[in-house]
Chains A and B, each alone.
Chain A
């Protein structure tokens, strides 16, 4: 077994939340009798006497100040600057499946641009009967759909290929968000222009300097791709592509082109920078996979986790997390507390939705001993989330992208959790 005498954190500690344990002394079992009356109950509190804010205090609200740790975080050393960079969704602190837009991760290649609806233009050209220009107002007049999908960066968990590196679910799995999109099927717009029979691909690009051009096979473009302008009920955030972005269900986030300005129907893939130099996955023999579009089934326990330690001591414990698959819906999530020796099937909060996040729970009674927590997702195609070692057997260590290996959190007797790899 593991040497329990090992320090569980570095000298300086890691995240504030990670060391804010102790204090509560719980012994498990039934509810405890109070020794003295609780002044929060016996004394009249100011909020029960005075007045709160008026309805005009905040026309558009932010979370209460006590939730100020539920924010996007950046890891400076990952990229050369913060313009072509990434930040992370605080998944360790969220519940349910819908990501609040204000803390949903960002990934830009030349920054988050400001593009007014009035200045917005969308061009469809190439192998079409009639090249077209749409204004934003035009797009609002096409029949609309609403769909919930996850957007996961191809590089999510990429820093973990060579081993346990970043300590927190936010950092290891937080390049993801899940929103309800309102928009027009790309198919509708392509049909408006009339795709010629020679058209086999679409090349999509953004209005920003990086352009982020990517090639998508026509089959996918005509299937479930959306040209979206609302997310979670309101306009897209600037950083998420305002006023219009592409939604490419189940496929790597890089293809979800933001500030979408042009769709070109072509005979061939353009093999742009973002599908040759980047978003290609190098294998052990030095060859690389290209066009690895689907994001495979994956899951992570969001609590307990390094940023969300157990503070209440032994007794009832909610183990919860997220599961998703780019190939279909989540059908089952298994959870292990002993590093994969034994597994229990968790409870899905609701039936898995196609290419969207699923929330799972496993309610246990924690006896206070150390745990090696893992989750394992299964999807509607029969795919079972592999271990990291199983992935490395096929791919080696230099794939960068598409790491969907099983995550392990080592929870010690104090309830602190750490990102580890185990045999």
Chain B
């Protein structure tokens, strides 16, 4: 009969070098943060070289790429602007994410000190530190993130308790039904070009060419 041992004895011990290579995450209390430092001044140059093509020289974002700065006090607005400065609760997340996953397409190419410097520059872009600021693993937790207290743990079971209503209305549930919004009016759904449209486009093109000659 097979013996159901507590362990299967599969896998092998991970070596310290292997854990060090892959375990890069940094927690909000600074756990995982390596020793190092970087200035706003160095960060400005590094940001310009590595990040500005998508995120803008001032971290304000280019086209549809993420904005990293701005949006203070907009979270309750109709169209909130969520950035590191306006939204992110912890600086640890900035360091961790930039270090592991940025630049987009060239991730894990930044040194520890370069990540400190870029993080310092992002703080400066959000008016959270002065231009002579130097971020280190020592002063890291002193930086106050404006929206640190802006998050609550999922409270659906309390705030949406009324959705747990096992006897929903089945008949005469409302008087009238009126259309209030239509997707076809907005017309942003990708279209599959029909023959009719192709013909129409060709006619327009032909007419345009006729006009040009």
| Interface residue ranges, A against B (CB under 8 Å) | 2, 8-10, 12-16, 19, 69, 73-77, 79-80, 83-84, 109-110, 123-126, 130-134, 138, 141-142, 163-168, 171, 188, 191-193, 203, 205, 209-211, 213, 261-262, 264, 266, 268-273, 276-277, 280, 282, 284-294, 296, 306, 334, 338-343, 372, 376, 378, 381-386, 390, 394, 397-398, 410, 418-423
B105: A residues at CB distance < 8 A: 110, 209
B151 touches A272 (CB 8 A): no
The listed residue (B97, B160, B176, B179) touching A273 by CB distance below 8 A is B97
Contact across chains for A290 and B13 when beta carbons are under 8 A apart: no
Q: How far is the CA of A341 from the CA of B170 in the complex (A)?
A: 8
**Cβ 8 A contact of B14, one of A73, A132, A284:** A132
CA A124 – CA B14 in complex, angstroms?
8
Chain B contributes a number of interface residues (CB within 8 A of A) equal to: 83
Question: Is B76 among interface residues, defined by CB-CB distance under 8 A?
Answer: yes
Smallest CB-CB separation from B9: which chain A residue?
A192
Inter-chain CA distance A357–B26, complex, in Å, is 37
B184 CB–A CB distance under 8 Å = yes
Given contacts A133-B12, A268-B27, A273-B93, contact A125 B150 (CB under 8 A): no
Name the interface residues of B81-108: CB closer than 8 Å to any CB of A: 82, 84, 87-90, 92-93, 96-97, 100-101, 104-105, 107-108
Known contacts: A271-B89, A276-B88, A282-B82. The answer to whether A192 contacts B165 by CB under 8 A is no
Docked CA distance A170–B152 (Å): 32
B179 is contacted by which of A77, A141, A210, A422 (Cβ under 8 Å)?
Answer: A422
Interface presence of B142 (CB below 8 A)? no
Instruction: Please pick, from B155, B166, B180, the residue contacting A378 in the complex, using a CB distance under 8 A.
Output: B166
A423, B178: Cβ atoms closer than 8 Å: yes
A286–B93 touching, CB < 8 Å: no
Q: Are A2 and B179 in contact (CB under 8 A)?
A: yes
* B65-85, CB < 8 A from A: 65-66, 75-76, 78, 80, 82, 84
Q: What are 10 A-B contacts with C-beta separation under 8 Å?
A: A131-B14, A164-B182, A262-B23, A268-B28, A272-B93, A277-B84, A286-B75, A288-B151, A292-B154, A339-B177
A-B residue pairs, 9 tightest by C-beta = A286-B76, A339-B177, A286-B75, A419-B183, A131-B14, A209-B107, A80-B64, A132-B11, A421-B181
In-complex Cβ contact of A261 among B14, B22, B166, B177 (8 A): B22
Q: In the assembled complex, how far is the CB of residue B116 from the closest CB belonging to chain A, in whole angstroms?
A: 18
Determine whether the beta carbon of A14 is less than 8 Å from that of B150. Answer: no
Q: Which residue of A lies closest to B6 (CB)?
A: A191
User: Do A264 and B23 touch (CB < 8 A)?
Assistant: yes
Say yes or no: B173 contacts A342, CB within 8 Å: yes
The answer on a CB contact under 8 Å between A287 and B104 is no
**Contacts A9-B184, A213-B25, A271-B27: A376 and B168 contacting too (C-beta < 8 A)?**
yes
Q: A133-B11, A133-B14, A296-B156 are in contact. Are A277 and B87 (CB under 8 A)?
A: yes
Question: Known contacts being A209-B101, A381-B164, is A268 close to B177, with CB within 8 Å?
Answer: no
B1: A residues at CB distance < 8 A: none
A301 to chain B, nearest CB (A): 15
Contact indicator B65/A80 (Cβ below 8 Å): yes
Q: How far is the CA of A270 from the CA of B33 in the complex (A)?
A: 12
Stretch at the interface among B39-47, B133-141, B190-198, B202-210: B190-198
Residue of A nearest to B106 (CB): A209
Interface membership of chain B positions 1-17, coded 1 if the CB is closer than 8 angstroms to chain A and 0 otherwise: 00000111011111000
Least Cβ distance of B106 to chain A in Å?
9
- A386 vs B169: C-alpha distance when bound (angstroms): 12
Say yes or no: A394 contacts B159, CB within 8 Å.
yes
Q: Is B172 an interface residue (CB 8 A)?
A: yes
Nearest opposing residue in chain A for B64, CB measure: A80
Report the separation of the CA atoms of residues A277 and B54 in the bound assembly, to the nearest whole angstrom.
18
Complex: A15 Cα to B104 Cα, angstroms = 34
Bound-state Cα–Cα, A282 to B71, Å: 14
Chain A nearest CB from B79 CB (Å) reads 8
Given A211-B101, A262-B22, A287-B151, CB of A131 within 8 Å of CB of B190: no
In whole Å, how far is B12's beta carbon from the nearest beta carbon of chain A? 6
Query: B188 at interface (Cβ–Cβ under 8 A)?
Result: yes
Contacts of A191 in B (CB 8 A): 6-7
**B212 proximal to A (CB < 8 A):** no
Q: B19 contacts A291, CB within 8 Å?
A: no
**Which of B150, B156, B182 is in CB contact (< 8 Å) with A420?**
B182
Q: Do A125 and B23 touch (CB < 8 A)?
A: yes
Identify which of B6, B84, B151, B174 gathers the most chain A CB atoms within 10 Å of its CB. B151
Across-interface contacts of A109 in B (CB, < 8 A): 101
| Bound CA span A280–B155, Å | 12
**What is the distance, in angstroms, from B20's C-beta to the closest C-beta of chain A?**
10
A337 to chain B, nearest CB (A): 11
Asked whether, in the complex, the Cβ of A340 is within 8 Å of the Cβ of B174, the reply is: yes
B10: A residues at CB distance < 8 A: 134, 138, 141-142, 192
